[in-house]
Amino acid sequence: MDGNGRWAQQRGLPRTMGHRKGVEAVRGAVRAAGEAGIAYLTLFAFSSENWTRPETEVNDLMGLLKAFIRRDLAELHAENVRIRVIGSRENLRSDILPLLLEAEETTRQNSGLTLVIAFNYGARDEIARAAKKLAAMVAEGRLSTDEIDAVALDRQLDTRGIPDPDLVIRTSGEERLSNFLLWQAAYAELLFVPEFWPDFTREIFFAALETYARRDRRFGGVKSAAVSG
Ligand code: IPE
Ligand code: MG
């Protein structure tokens, strides 16, 4: 979700107004994903690098996250949405962590769309934490070095149990991953759309899904037509 600040700037509004509109776009995207029958939607809400933004903006973003969970949790729960949070939980503010845990706990049994919120998330940090866990298991004699492979590391990631993303969409025209799901997106289709996040409508979402459907995914193999023909 990129471009909240520029959306506001374009209108001569403070950046925080862009973030506010961004929350509305989140609601629309969650609804559209549910309608499209998507099983997992991951939103990059706040990166481990976003803490370097001015304190007022960080506070605005924290306030919006808190308001979103307080205001929308009941409705998401009623819509059978399951919430998972990925990212480091170390040193999280005491007014944030309990809310995230509550959102996960309340919706644990839900079987509809899984909404994965990447908060205080950075892929390199996630992979490093997973490596640390494997090292600790080896040190404790619960794992041998030979058993460390891609599957073993994958199991220690924050996304354990969540399938790899098929499609990664970034808004605002920037064409980079910026430390998002670096491991999991190894074979993801990438789509960069010019619209700023607050302008990300269901129409743009569905058009993105159509673009995805036309992509030829080979996972390092050969074209399916070449195999059968
Ligand atoms: C994305 O919009 C929102 C978050 C990081 C939460 P930005 O705040 O990055 O907006 P730009 O990139 O400055 O336009
Ligand atoms: Mg940005």
DSSP string, 120-136: EE-HHHHHHHHHHHHHH
Is residue 26 within 6 Å of ligand 1 at its C-beta?
A: no
Q: Which two tokens stand for residue 20?
A: 């506010």
Mark out the alpha helices in 79-167 (DSSP H runs). Answer: 97-106, 123-139, 150-154
CA of 172 to the centre of ligand 1 (A): 9
Tell me which ligand sits closest to the C-alpha of residue 61.
Answer: 1
In a domain, 69, yes or no: yes
Output the six-digit token pair for 220: 């390092």
pLDDT digits 0-9 by tens, 124-183:
999 999 999 999 999 999 999 999 999 999 999 999 999 999 999 999 999 999 999 999
Output the pTM of the full model: 0.96
205 within some domain: yes
Nearest by Cα to 123 from 187, 48, 62, 189: 48
* Closest-lying ligand 1 atom to the alpha carbon of residue 9: 14
Burial (Cβ within 10 Å: 0-12, 13-18, ≥19) of residue 213: exposed
State the average pLDDT for the chain: 96
Q: Which atom of ligand 1 is nearest to the CA of 8?
A: 14
Which residue's alpha carbon is nearest to atom 9 within ligand 1? 2
Q: Is 221 among the domain residues?
A: no
Cβ of 4 closer than 6 Å to ligand 1, yes or no, is: yes
Domain of 54, CATH number, reads: 3.40.1180.10
| Per-position pLDDT tens, the chain of length 229 | 999 999 999 999 999 999 999 999 999 999 999 999 999 999 999 999 999 999 999 999 999 999 999 999 999 999 999 999 999 999 899 999 999 999 999 999 999 999 999 999 999 999 999 999 999 999 999 999 999 999 999 999 999 999 999 999 999 999 999 999 999 999 999 999 999 999 999 999 999 999 999 999 999 999 876 665 4
Helices (H), the chain: 4-10, 15-35, 55-78, 97-106, 123-139, 150-154, 202-214, 224-228
Q: Annotated active-site positions, please? A: 2, 50
CA-7 nearest atom, ligand 1: 14
Question: Cα(178) to centroid of ligand 2, in Å?
Answer: 10
Q: Residue 26 is part of which domain span?
A: 4-213
Q: For residue 51, tell me if it sits in a domain.
A: yes
**Residue 181 maps to a domain:** yes
**Residue 49, domain member (yes or no):** yes
**Is residue 8 assigned to a domain?**
yes
Q: How many domains does the chain have?
A: 1
Residue 72 maps to a domain: yes
